[in-house]
A = this chain, B = another copy of it.
């Protein structure tokens, strides 16, 4: 399972709000094994989270509630060695591709240029099919969302300490067309860099997104990260934007971390947070 909570300041919506961020999720897995070694099973996720809005009880739209946990749509799977077939609420290829998103900046700011289907941590989901394969340094993932009729796939390979990946999507519902990503370790720093292209899919031609992140172990248990993003707009009336973020994480042991971060873009959006996360 996983949990996190903390304080978030967000002016992305044009008005400043400060709220108590929360997420608690518990994964339940049931499996069995056939005589010839296939693992067959299914999994649920129970997630509760904050239901935020507005800033103060006097403000319009003010809400300060914690959502009830939901049992999400199940994922079932058959696995044999590095090959796995899953159905239902599956993991989708581009959403699972390493190094494609810069990851969480601070406690909860998940910044990504990807527009595609994803695993639903709460409630119902599209019905999907996914096939993943891992062998040595090779990873491949093919997935299909039967509701949006979206197909996406990626292949990545580990070479000389770096992981190179390329992926694509065919869909009328989502804009992302193709992606490339690379990641690895240089000295004491880990980095990742990616490009997400919005091509002929969906409404099409929205633009492209570049992202670079680097993490440094600066002291025992303390990690500092830096993030740089650029959205290159192809759409009239939508501005290109540069984003810059920094964060820090201090490991308390047992999977518990104190984390804080700040991320801003030059079209005047800023989000900062501080809190704790834990895996159990």
- Give residues in A with beta carbon < 8 Å to B: 1, 3, 5, 20, 22, 24, 26, 28, 30-36, 38, 40-42, 44, 46, 48, 50-51, 57, 63-74, 76, 78, 87-89, 122-129, 146-147, 149, 252-256, 276, 278-280
Whether A32 contacts B72 by the Cβ 8 Å rule is no
Contact for A66 among B64, B70, B124, B254, CB less than 8 A: B124
Cα distance, A69 to B27, chains bound together (Å): 13
Contacts of A40 in B (CB 8 A): 3, 254, 256, 276, 278, 280
Q: Which residues of B contact A70 (CB under 8 A)?
A: 68, 71
How far, in angstroms, from A280 to B69 measured CA to CA in the complex? 23
B127 A42 Cβ-Cβ under 8 A: no
Contact among B36, B65, B88 with A24 in the assembled complex (CB-CB below 8 Å): B88
Is the CB–CB distance between B65 and A69 below 8 Å? no
Q: Which of A48, A89, A123, A255 has the most CB of B within 10 A?
A: A48
Q: Can you name 29 A-B residue pairings with CB atoms under 8 Å?
A: A3-B41, A3-B42, A3-B74, A3-B76, A5-B87, A20-B146, A22-B127, A24-B44, A24-B76, A24-B88, A28-B46, A32-B256, A32-B279, A35-B252, A38-B256, A40-B280, A41-B278, A48-B72, A48-B88, A50-B127, A64-B127, A64-B147, A65-B125, A65-B126, A65-B147, A66-B89, A68-B123, A69-B71, A78-B276
**Nearest CB of chain B from residue A87's CB, rounded to whole Å:** 5
Known: A127-B20, A127-B64. A69 touches B88 (CB 8 A): no
In the bound complex, residues from chain B placing their C-beta under 8 Å from that of A50 are 88, 127
Provided the pairs A68-B70, A69-B71, A78-B276 are in contact, do residues A44 and B26 lie with their beta carbons within 8 angstroms? yes
Which residues from chain B contact A22 at a C-beta distance below 8 Å?
A: 74, 76, 87-88, 127
Query: How many copies of the chain does the oligomer comprise?
Result: 3
Q: Which residues of B sit under 8 angstroms from A5, Cβ to Cβ?
A: 76, 87-88
- A23 to B: closest C-beta gap in Å: 8
Cβ–Cβ contact B66 & A126, under 8 A: yes
CB-CB under 8 A from A122, the residues of chain B are 68
Known interface pairs A46-B44, A147-B64, A254-B35; A280-B73 also in contact (CB < 8 Å): no
Q: How far is the CA of A128 from the CA of B50 in the complex (A)?
A: 11
A83 to chain B, nearest CB (A): 15
| A276 CB contacts on chain B under 8 angstroms | 40, 78
Residues of B within 8 A of A124 (CB): 51, 65-68
Interfacial chain B residues near A256, Cβ < 8 Å: 32, 34, 38, 40
